């Protein structure tokens, strides 16, 4: 009989984005993995990019946790399973500790995860202590692990920061300012770890730096101070095999890489066989009944997409045969007639939807969204730097949690023939029935 599982766990948070959460989480995971410990890492909130760095650091798959999008039951089940297998569980927060509804703090309190605050101390001294105190005590009952100072100028600066704390025992050390420890970024966040030949060397350098701090010097016995009991989750409900006997082709390469592993698991649980392919490198689709074009960076690979006319013809034949396509964000962008860069340069795309997509230098949309398909609702989010201009009329729109769809609000869902496309990124497990509809021929959006 399954019982509660106990394992050291910590949620790495910060007062805001850009403080170094991902670097510290990855460094901590890499440090303990190098020492032979089994480390499981999760990412709080919707995120496709950070998990790649965290997976490389830990050597284990990284899944998302969000009390709204993935749901409390899913979070509980994943934590319990990880605790049965791991020596250390790390959860990287999102934005600031109390930002968002639900926030990283909500997740920490729901599951009793001690919070480790990472604070960029590069432009402060005594205020560091006030900020740490506020993060710890702003909400009563928040489990607390301690605080790590990041981007510190030197030993004297670190000493001032430590002396500013009201509770010195919560000092977990300082990482000195070092550009070599920064993970490279671009408009959607960090550069993908898979794109950098020296990604592991960067993680090792960060782990080496962390090894000199009190946090980095904690051994297996010391980690037990953060041990958490994770209760047995409720039994998962069985999903109907609505996609049994069907093969779903999944685009996966440098241009189309925003894929939740849990979404692949959902398709398999629905009975689908998955066939992966590269729209950049392959000349044709694999044999399939339906197609998923996930998000990614088509704007960075527009020339390669335009040059692969054989793939464009294969996609057109798929549509002509009436086989479904679900395209989200970057996948949808490539389906239009042209991609226009932020500098105004136009490149032909696949031309399966009328209109153009234009990149811009400012964020166009960000936040949780939900999409109603019949009597089912898919949860997910939106995050993009482009806009589209098309004569197509939306057949539906997404809405923010707790709100009803409204004209000109939310993300449009377009349909032309068997193609359904939107900027909306769906979390398939939130509604297996609605997910199946995206990959079946039918009259619903």
One-character DSSP codes across 1-27: ----EEEEEEEEE-SSTTSSHHHHHHH
Query: What gap in Å lies between CA 154 and CA 175, rounded to an integer?
Result: 9
276 and 202 within one domain:
no
278 and 141 within one domain:
no
Query: What gap in Å lies between CA 358 and CA 201, rounded to an integer?
Result: 36
199 and 81 within one domain:
yes
| Tokens matching residue 164 | 């500013």
398 and 267 within one domain:
yes
- CB within 8 A of 416, min separation 6: which ones? 352, 353, 354, 392
Domain end among 199, 230, 261: 230
Q: Which active-site residues does the annotation give? A: 329
Query: What gap in Å lies between CA 22 and CA 18, rounded to an integer?
Result: 9
pLDDT at 280: 97
Domain end among 204, 230, 256: 230
Is 242 inside a domain boundary? no
φ, ψ of residue 19 to 5 degrees: the values are -90, -15
146 and 69 within one domain:
yes
Q: What is the DSSP string of 275-299?
A: EEE-TTT-SSPPS-SEEEE-BS-GG
32 and 180 within one domain:
yes
269 and 178 within one domain:
no
417 and 271 within one domain:
yes
Contact 2, 83 (CB under 8 A): no
Residue 252: give its domain's CATH number. Answer: 3.40.50.880
User: Structural domain of residue 281, as residue ranges?
Assistant: 247-438
Query: Does the global pTM surpass 0.75?
Result: yes
Is 268 inside a domain boundary? yes
Query: What gap in Å lies between CA 389 and CA 4, rounded to an integer?
Result: 53
Query: What gap in Å lies between CA 211 and CA 181, rounded to an integer?
Result: 13
285 and 199 within one domain:
no
Which of 151, 189, 183, 14 is closest to 91 using CA atoms?
14
Contact 283, 310 (CB under 8 A): yes
Is 171 inside a domain boundary? yes
Is 51 inside a domain boundary? yes
Q: Are strands 412-416 and 396-397 parallel, antiparallel or unpaired?
A: antiparallel
Question: What three-state secondary structure class fits 175?
Answer: strand
Element housing 250 (H / E): strand 247-251
Is 185 inside a domain boundary? yes
275 and 175 within one domain:
no
pLDDT at 3: 82
304 and 199 within one domain:
no
Tens-of-pLDDT digits for all 445 residues of the chain? 468 899 999 999 999 999 999 999 999 999 999 999 999 999 998 888 888 889 999 999 999 999 999 999 999 999 999 999 999 999 999 999 999 989 999 999 999 999 999 999 999 999 999 999 999 999 999 999 999 999 999 999 999 999 999 999 999 999 999 876 676 664 555 566 566 677 889 899 999 999 999 999 999 999 999 999 999 888 877 888 999 999 999 999 999 999 999 999 999 999 999 999 999 999 999 999 999 999 999 999 999 999 999 999 999 999 999 999 999 999 999 999 999 998 989 999 999 999 999 999 887 888 899 999 988 999 999 998 899 999 999 999 999 997 777 666 789 999 999 999 999 999 999 999 999 999 997 655 5
Contact 323, 290 (CB under 8 A): yes
184 and 49 within one domain:
yes
pLDDT at 1: 44
Residue 154: give its domain's CATH number. Answer: 3.40.50.300
Domain end among 230, 261, 282: 230
Contact 336, 388 (CB under 8 A): yes
Query: What gap in Å lies between CA 255 and CA 312, rounded to an integer?
Result: 15
Is 445 inside a domain boundary? no
Is 241 inside a domain boundary? no
| Tokens matching residue 404 | 């009803």
Q: In what order do the strands lie in the sheet with 338-340?
A: 346-348, 338-340, 356-359, 386-389
Is 148 inside a domain boundary? yes
φ, ψ of residue 387 to 5 degrees: the values are -130, 155
Question: What's the structural domain count of the chain?
Answer: 2
């Amino acid at each position: 009989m399954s019982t509660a599982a106990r394992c050291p766990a910590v949620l790495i948070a910060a007062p805001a984005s850009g403080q170094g959460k991902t670097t510290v989480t990855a460094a901590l995971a890499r440090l303990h993995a190098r020492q032979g410990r089994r480390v499981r890492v999760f990412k709080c909130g919707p995120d496709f990019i950070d998990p790649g760095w965290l997976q490389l650091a830990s050597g284990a798959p990284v899944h998302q946790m969000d009390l709204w999008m993935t749901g409390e039951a899913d979070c509980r089940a994943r934590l319990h399973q990880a605790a049965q297998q791991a020596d250390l569980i790390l959860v990287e927060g999102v934005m600031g500790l109390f930002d968002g509804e639900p926030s990283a703090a909500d997740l920490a309190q729901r599951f009793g995860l001690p919070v480790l605050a990472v604070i960029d101390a590069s432009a402060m001294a005594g205020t560091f202590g006030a900020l740490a105190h506020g993060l710890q005590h702003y909400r009563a009952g928040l489990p607390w692990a301690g605080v790590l100072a990041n981007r510190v100028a030197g030993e004297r600066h670190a000493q001032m920061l430590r002396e500013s704390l009201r509770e010195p025992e919560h000092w977990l050390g300082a990482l000195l300012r070092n550009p070599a420890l920064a993970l490279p970024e671009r408009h959607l966040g960090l550069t993908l770890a898979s794109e950098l030949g020296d990604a592991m060397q960067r993680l090792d350098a960060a782990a080496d730096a962390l090894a000199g701090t009190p946090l980095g010097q904690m051994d297996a016995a010391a980690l037990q101070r953060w041990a958490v009991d994770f209760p047995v989750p409720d039994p998962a409900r069985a999903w109907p095999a609505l996609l049994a006997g069907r093969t779903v082709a999944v685009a996966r390469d440098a241009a189309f890489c925003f894929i939740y592993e849990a979404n692949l698991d959902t398709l398999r649980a629905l009975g689908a066989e998955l066939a992966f392919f590269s729209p950049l490198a392959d000349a044709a689709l694999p044999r399939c009944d339906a197609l998923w074009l996930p998000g990614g960076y088509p704007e960075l690979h527009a020339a390669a997409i335009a040059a692969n006319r054989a793939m464009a013809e294969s996609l057109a034949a798929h549509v002509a045969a009436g086989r479904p396509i679900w395209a989200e964000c970057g996948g949808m962008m490539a389906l239009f007639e042209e991609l226009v860069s932020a500098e105004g340069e136009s490149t032909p795309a696949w031309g399966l939807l009328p209109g153009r997509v234009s990149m811009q230098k400012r964020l166009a949309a960000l936040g949780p969204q939900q999409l109603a398909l019949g009597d089912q609702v898919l949860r997910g989010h939106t995050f993009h730097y482009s806009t589209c201009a098309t004569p197509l009329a939306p057949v539906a729109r997404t809405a923010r949690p707790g709100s009803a769809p409204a004209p000109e609000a939310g993300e449009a869902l377009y349909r032309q023939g068997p193609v359904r496309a939107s900027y909306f990124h769906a979390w398939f497990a939130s509604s297996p029935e609605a997910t199946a509809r995206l990959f079946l021929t039918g009259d619903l959006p």
